[in-house]
Structure 1
């Protein structure tokens, strides 16, 4: 765990029994860290403890995944007040983990079925697709998206796991990341191991916007300060920043971070309070970049609201900005209308 005040030496050091592929910090309890491991286990660290070892860890008798844990996410405390999180793995399981005193309880919320070209009913029942990414809807705790190795994205709910609410053929390669837009949580962003980034509306199986980055994408992130800004990192070592309000087709900034011969970029995250982004590369280095004022421009309505210290008004101004953009781009097809269109095509 590093601090920007002293980037040359870590503030905390935790030791995991296997390689760490994903990590998440609890939004309300920043001393609680959860990690997904290469051997299929999940581990929880409490930075308030002096011990560098995990306070909770799964094992083969207690829900260990049979493949790599690709992504892990803290969620809100359950009804009993216990901390809990979700993991998605290459074994096709989406698992909920609950920390109860010294124990780690697990429940498999979803088994991701493999549906491509499978005719045999028995085989289809037992064959699973590998999970790669997971994202919970900001305004509905029970709704989440899961991305797979086959490029599919499924909308599902924790209330039942027998079927998906919606399916999206997002990519033809493994889905690397999915992110909901926090201002209009019907919109989400996806990327895969290809040159294309796509924006979807929850009610439509087809993307409403797609962007050809010109290089294989490593990761994506929505900006927390704007409803229309997102960033993309590529294997060529570049960060592309898009602002749909200013330009719906091309990035407003392309910044080279590392030479492509030395490393590729594979992770990006925005600071929620400061105009800073953190970028990780394949050589194990982490780069902190400051966003210029041109990359975080506000509309006049948002500027006026912030000047009057009206945070709610500034938030509504961001929602209106994205709403106007969506009205210009596309008519959202509702699921019922979509079914009728598909029936017309088949007849």
Structure 2
């Protein structure tokens, strides 16, 4: 069938995230592609997003804007996408190191965090879309391995290669970021 891509022909999946409301999910691959798939059709994908140059390490749908998602990659970038557009809306890069994980805050619509091997970053898009507002470096010889926002608080949990979990409490974030100023407003002003 011309124009259709069969799932068995693509590179192996590396990460995935299910949409919170509709029957679609995203699969990040080793070759830098992100495939949008349907739970109703397991033979082909709906779209492919191509911007990352290396493996896609993590993907997460926005809990506040259901058509937006973040991806991060070994190419040292984080991309913000609208699932109806095949090009990213914004690209983020602060250091030259692979981005291992990315997570949206469940409490603030414009906040996300990312971990690199040696540092954690928190981005507050209603304050700054060019640089993270918080950067914390891991101890020498420690690799950061896991990232999670807690619900009902402004805390970020970060796991590391020594089996420890560090809790970061976020302070002094703008009130607009808390379920107020939408990500769509920020994207409209950035374009």
TM over 0.5: yes
Pairwise CA RMSD of aligned residues? 1.8
1:164 is paired with a residue of what secondary structure?
A: coil
SS of residue matched to 1:326: helix
Counterpart CA distance in 1 for 2:132 and 2:34 is 25
Task: Give distance in 1, aligned partners of 2:170 and 2:189.
Answer: 28
Contact 1:221 1:232 in 2 (8 A): yes
Of residues 137, 144, 151, the one that matches 2:19 is 137
Q: Which of structure 1's runs of 4+ aligned residues deviate more than 3 A?
A: 111-114
For the pair 1:327 / 2:183, whether they are aligned, the reply is no
Instruction: Check if 1:218 corresponds to 2:100.
Output: yes
Query: Higher strand fraction: Structure 1 or Structure 2?
Result: 2
Aligned partners of 2:113 and 2:120 also within 8 Å: yes
The unaligned stretches of length 5 or more in structure 2 are 1-5
Distance 1:325 1:192 in 2: 23
> Partners of 2:71 and 2:13 in 1: how far apart?
14
Task: Give yes or no for contact 2:100–2:116 (8 Å, CA) kept in 1.
Answer: yes
The counterpart of 2:153, out of the listed 257, 263, 274, is 274
Which of 45, 55, 66 does residue 185 from structure 1 map onto?
66
Q: Indicate the structure with greater helix content.
A: 1
Counterpart of 1:228 (choices 96, 110, 118) is 110
Q: C-alpha distance in 2, partners of 1:326/1:172?
A: 24
Secondary structure in 2 matching 1:328: helix
- Superposed displacement of residue 178, structure 1: 0.3
In structure 2, C-alpha distance between the alignment counterparts of 1:299 and 1:151, rounded to whole Å: 34
Q: Determine the C-alpha separation between the residues in 1 that align with 2:36 and 2:134.
A: 32
Could you tell me which of 277, 285, 288 is aligned with 2:164?
285
Q: Distance in 2 between matches of 1:199 and 1:323?
A: 12
Query: How many residues of Structure 1 are paired with residues of Structure 2 in the alignment?
Result: 185
Q: 170, 174, 177: which is aligned to 2:55?
A: 174
8 Å contact from structure 2 (residues 7, 44) kept in 1:
no
Q: Give the conservation status (yes or no) of the 8 Å contact 1:217–1:234.
A: yes
C-alpha distance in 2 between matches for 1:131 and 1:216: 18
Matches within 5 A, 1:290-305: 290-292=169-171, 294=172, 296-299=173-176
The alpha carbon displacement at 1:266 in A equals 2.1
Give 1:202's aligned residue: 83
TM-score, normalized by length of structure 2?
Answer: 0.89
CA contact (8 A) 1:112 1:130 kept: no
Unaligned runs of at least 5 residues, structure 1: 1-110, 115-127, 303-314, 331-347
Does the residue aligned with 2:54 lie in a helix, a strand or coil? coil
